[in-house]
Amino acid sequence: MDKTFIIGTAGHIDHGKTVLVKALTGIDTDRLPEEKERGISIDLGFAHFVLPDGSKTGIVDVPGHENFIRNMMAGSTGVDLALVVVAADDSVMPQTKEHLAILEFLGVTDAIFTITKIDLVDEEMVELVIQDIRELVKGRPFEDSPIVPVSAITGAGMERLKEELADATSRIKTKDRSRPPRIPIDRSFTIKGAGTVVTGTLWSGTIKGGDRLEVLPHGIEVRVRSLQVHGKTRDEAYAGERVAINIPGIPKEMLSRGDVLAAPGLLKPTYMLDARVKILPDWQKPIKRGTRLRFHHGTREILGRIYPIESDEIKPGENLPVQLRLENNAACLSGDRFVLRSYSPVTTIGGGIIIDPHPPKHKSKDPKALDTFHKLEKRNPADVVLISLNRIGKPSTIPQITRESGFPAKLIAEGMEKCLKEGEVIILKSKGSASTPQERALKHPGSNMNTISPATLFISRGTLDSVIERATKTLEEYHKQKPISGGMPLETFRKKVFVGEKPSVCDALTELLVRKNIVEISGNLARKPGFSTGLESKDKELLDTICSEISQAMFSPPDIKEISEKTGFQKSHIIDLLDEAVRERKLVKVSHEIYFSSEAVQMAISVLKNAAGDKGITVSEFRKLLGTTRKYALPLLDYMDREKITVRIGDARKLR
């Protein structure tokens, strides 16, 4: 598979970035009329060429003017190698320094410094510029980067520049193609007859025609009709390539720079995140708690406020944990880089790395929040899984944990394996076959988790302990309130204990509680294991009296209201007593209000079987045979339908 890289230009306005790119590639990246008129780059420009070793390279040409720094940051997203341009007749300038700081915050560590316009100065001036650059990068990741003097006009130094580019890219690792696709959008436009097209640098994974992707933070799912790389139609695009994607069915107006295309379900939009932030040493004042600023991530700019986790401010040069609270949603993963700029006047003040994309809101100087931050920062797989599962607070699959945590699925799978071995996490039960594309596609190379379905549910020991405590307390309270009831209705129990869970998850949790002897299920009732109603003597006497009356009445027994009025006890107490008789098989509950003796029900079934014949039997015929009224005959027939003794066809019941 061909190696592909993205080179991003950086440097002060009018230092010759666009002219240099044209000399390298033959492509003029100034595409806007205003850019042509003013002679400066306003928006991003794109070009491509093949290096001497055959590597395919895309170049993002970014504007250098202060007013267009925002576009510069959008262009630096996904850059593998920086081509930092310094004009020989100007040397290092303010935007040179700011661009370099931005590249560093975005994690770009490979660079080539190019001194342009050497045809306008003498050799002594070129040497002075080289010294300025060396001083600028001293002690920074770019300290040993090559410096190449060139002239795009005469061609001097251009061959050496190409050699240095090839040498630098040979050392750069290709982006991860095994992870799900993610591409920050930097442009969107419409092509007549094709529909909406978006462009960007593919950060990870691969994209094919026909793939389904999600537009974030909007949560809109789209289909890839076709795609191009460097102006040529391709069946597939790989991480590290500049891609143009045709996504019909969505208006261009719904998309903007800063939106993200990703595998469905990969990202959960967030307005709050924990990060490690470094403030530039030469920034003039401390950044206080609650300061409003500009958050730049991928190709998106969002206003927000900063809240240090362990202090009230961050001093220039400090590198501290913070919580960022944004005014609009972002689509981030743990490990993503970002840049911070002041609200007004707009200047780069710092940057950092996202540690936790979905944290709870922290109080000032919260030791628990700081402890969690440091655990997630170390990226220990087991810690990440436990923190995420406990935070979710309910049974979850690996794709769900991945989305909710913002950490890679491979890391989650590795952590899950360790947690299972240590007993910190329990496999609840598979909820069935994988149902979503990301679940079906999920793989965990080199892990025993490959043998476990992506649809498998996991629950942390801490969450399970909470469920057990809630279940025990719920049943104890119910038994205390209704000591003569045989148990709590199962559906009521599930709703109280497994709040908001799907039926399949409730089933799995109920089975687990039964296996652990926390709950006992009898019919449609839940109770504590070994629980006995233990009716008091007066209740036993009352129940015996009621059962006797129901039995003597045969097919016209007193209903609950009548029994309550006659005995003076509340209906709820009468129901509990009658249900106890049902459990003892003395009575049969045929409706909410009517109970028959077991003998009467068996006799009614026998009468029906003898009389139904081929034509069946109507309610009117049945009540006459029993010598009762419709009030009792109809509930009896409905009961027989439920028990699958009869089936209703029109107005008649026939034997099954």
**Do residues 463 and 501 lie in contact, with contact meaning Cβ atoms separated by under 8 Å?**
no
CA 146 – CA 141 distance, rounded (Å): 12
Q: Please state, in angstroms and rounded to a whole number, the distance separating the CA atoms of residues 577 and 541.
A: 11
For 310, the 3-state DSSP assignment is coil
Active-site hit among 4, 9, 18, 116: 18
Contact 21, 57 (CB under 8 A): no
CA distances from 51 to 58, 155, 168, 202 (A): 10, 17, 11, 20
First-to-last C-alpha distance (Å) of the chain: 67
Three-state SS string over 573-607 comes to HHHHHHHHHHHCCCEEECCCCCEEEHHHHHHHHHH
Residue whose pair of structure tokens reads 């895309």 in the numeric block: 58
The token pair at 184 is 């920050």
600-604: list long-range contacts, CB under 8 Å, 24+ apart: 600/551, 600/554, 600/555, 600/557, 601/636, 601/639, 603/554, 604/555, 604/636
Q: In which order are the strands placed within the sheet that holds 81-87?
A: 45-50, 56-61, 4-11, 81-87, 111-116, 147-149
Contact present, 71 and 46 (Cβ < 8 Å): no
Interatomic CA distance for residues 143 and 344, integer angstroms: 32
- Phi, psi (deg, nearest 5) at residue 114: -120, 120
Q: 43 catalytic, yes or no?
A: no
Among residues 17, 56, 230, 429, which one is catalytic? 17
324 forms beta bridges with 273, 306
CB 115 within 8 A of CB 86: yes
List the one residue out of 377, 376, 388 whose CA is nearest residue 416.
Answer: 388
On the CB side of 591, CA atoms within 13 Å amount to 14
Q: Count the helix, strand and coil residues of the chain and give each as a percent rounded to the nearest 5.
A: 35, 25, 35
Q: How far apart are CA 365 and CA 311, in angstroms?
A: 6
Instruction: Name the token pair of 457.
Output: 């549910």
Q: What is the spatial distance between Cα 284 and Cα 152, in angstroms, rounded to a whole number?
A: 38
Residue 65 in contact with residue 15, Cβ under 8 Å? no
E-state strands within 281-405: 287-288, 291-297, 300-308, 313-314, 319-330, 337-342, 348-356
Catalytic residue among 12, 14, 110, 348: 14
- Cβ contacts of 611 within 8 Å, gap of 6 or more: 617, 621, 622, 625
Q: Is residue 17 annotated as part of the catalytic site, yes or no? A: yes
The residue count for the chain: 656
Give the list of residues 6+ apart from residue 471 with CB closer than 8 angstroms, or none: 493, 497, 513, 518, 519
Contact 258, 184 (CB under 8 A): yes
Omega cis (within 30) before 345:
yes
Q: Which residues have C-beta within 8 Å of that of residue 76, sequence separation ≥ 6?
A: 8, 10, 60, 62, 82, 102, 103, 106, 108
CB 337 within 8 A of CB 106: yes
- Whether 192 is a known active-site residue: answer no
Q: Are strands 287-288 and 291-297 parallel, antiparallel or unpaired?
A: unpaired
Told to judge if 252 belongs to the known catalytic residues of this protein, a careful annotator would answer no
| Catalytic site positions | 14, 17-18, 65
